[in-house]
Amino acid sequence: MSLLEECLHYLEQPGFERFIEAWLEKYRRLGHLGGRIQLEHLNKMEQEALGLLLGMDLGEGTLQLDYRSFQKQWSQTRFESVDFLEVLTLLRQDPLYSRRELRHQQALQVQTFCDTLLTKYAGTPAFTFLEHYFKTDVRLVYHICHEEGYPILLEHVLQALNALPVYQNKTELLPVFSWRLTRDPHYFDQGMAHDLLLRGIAFHFQQDLDGSVDNRHDLLFQAGVLRDDLSNACLICHIVPCSHPQSWQAFYDDYEPWNMTLYNLMQVEGPFSQSAIYMVENPSVFRELALHVKIRQLDVGLVCSNGQINLSTYRLIDRLLTSGCTINYAGDWDPEGLQIADKLVSRYPRIHLWGYDVHALKVIGLKQTEISESRQSLLKHYRHPILRAMAREIRNTSLFGYQEGLLEKMKKSLI
């Protein structure tokens, strides 16, 4: 066994672990061995090992040592001729770099990685996003240099952006799309692959990415990718496409409420029959209105969003407005209900707010003993003037209004 091997074997004892790591960190910071190390709370094993090597009494559990003093002590051991820096490198089992050297190597690694992919994807739909992503992602160096699976993940995302079904005027379920590209039906369900794909889609179609569930579903839909087209649904009554498909027509003629899925909607093409559409938030209110229009055979359509508006409801609204229908919306008069209405009319300025009346709030309003700070905050951020007026009244009176209290008035307003 050579002297170097003996030295390595000696310093591999557990009592030297923190001592070795302290000098490694000094080298990383300074680019050379120097400065001073300090180790506190030395255990008995460390006290004995370091005390024997350094000829020091470490019974108090603390070591303070500058490199010049260590060199002097090292020269008095039988390892005097052994290069301590070489020992550190071998103990670490890979090249030892200063932080400056490491940053330089990482910069070269990142540049090579980026240049390779930009060349590979030049002229493809994914290229402009890739170029933008490399310029703006603040964690790019970490991803490239420290995440082993990142290169494969990024390539899967780029391949997905180049193969969006919308390019062929088609749609595809997300699990099928994922399987086709990665052989994993859940690859783009969540995590970094999901987030990067959505960033790419938003960039490609010049849309905002706000992180909400509706926004994510909407972006995927624009790309021709459907997360789920069967459970994504809304309630409708007396609404029919102009092509009069048999299944829709039967429900339409009988004024039967039914749960229209995104799949159902996508199976029909062309415009819808023009009519006045009344849209509500609450299923029980929708049921009462559906019975009312059926008994009186009123030529109006009904939609129920069942709270937060989902993708199937948004897509139906798109189709109805494009077909020339008028849409009237009524929701609850509480912070969350007004927020839903505000988002809806901001997205679709042609939608009319139906029945919003500060005087009616005083009649049907339910007094709140307390309105939380978060709900109070919601009341300050609506954009539509009618909703701002409702919010002011709620703040002044602590009254919330619910659609059930307006049901008879709503029935009378149907034409």
DSSP secondary structure of 91-115: HHTS----HHHHHHHHHHHHHHHHH
Residue-wise pLDDT tens for the chain (415 aa)? Answer: 788 888 888 888 889 899 888 888 888 787 778 889 999 999 999 999 888 888 888 888 899 989 899 889 888 888 888 888 887 878 876 666 566 766 777 788 888 999 999 999 999 999 999 999 999 887 888 888 778 899 999 999 999 999 999 999 888 999 999 999 999 999 999 999 999 999 999 999 998 888 788 788 889 999 999 988 888 899 999 999 999 899 999 999 999 999 999 999 999 999 999 999 999 999 999 999 999 999 999 999 999 998 889 889 999 999 999 999 999 999 999 999 999 999 999 999 999 999 999 999 999 999 998 999 999 999 999 999 999 999 999 999 999 999 999 999 999 998 6
- CA 240/CA 247 separation, integer angstroms: 10
Of 330, 314, 333, 319, residue with least CA distance to 409:
330
| Max CA distance (Å), the chain | 106
Q: Output the DSSP codes for 113-133.
A: HHHHHHHHTTTSTTHHHHHHH
| pLDDT computed for residue 59 by the predictor | 85
- CA 27/CA 21 separation, integer angstroms: 10
Q: What is the CA radius of gyration of the chain?
A: 34
| Continuous segment of H or E residues that includes residue 214 | helix 213-222
Q: Rounded to the nearest 5°, which phi and psi values hold at 233?
A: -150, 165
Q: Rounded to the nearest 5°, which phi and psi values hold at 54?
A: -95, -10
N- to C-terminal Cα distance for the chain? 99
Q: How many residues does the chain have?
A: 415
Residue with tokens 């020339």, as numbered in its chain: 324
Helix axis angle for 99-120 and 17-30, nearest 10°, is: 70
Q: Rounded to the nearest 5°, which phi and psi values hold at 283?
A: -60, -35
| pLDDT computed for residue 139 by the predictor | 84
Amino acid at 10: Y
- CA 59/CA 43 separation, integer angstroms: 9
Amino acid at 324: G
Distances (CA, A) of 338 to 222, 234, 296, 355, 377: 27, 20, 30, 13, 12
Of 255, 316, 261, residue with least CA distance to 290:
255
| pLDDT computed for residue 155 by the predictor | 95
Task: Sketch out the chain's domains with CATH numbers.
Answer: 3-96 (no CATH), 100-226 (no CATH), 233-413 (3.40.1360.10)
Joined tokens for residue 133: 């992503």
**Residue 333 carries which DSSP code?**
B
Of 306, 308, 311, 345, residue with least CA distance to 329:
345
> How many degrees, rounded to 5, is the angle at CA 289 between CA 285 and CA 295?
150
| pLDDT computed for residue 98 by the predictor | 60
| pLDDT computed for residue 94 by the predictor | 66
- CA 228/CA 172 separation, integer angstroms: 10
- CA 177/CA 158 separation, integer angstroms: 13
Of 386, 275, 384, 279, residue with least CA distance to 328:
279
- Count CA within 13 A, CB hemisphere, residue 88: 19
Amino acid at 230: L
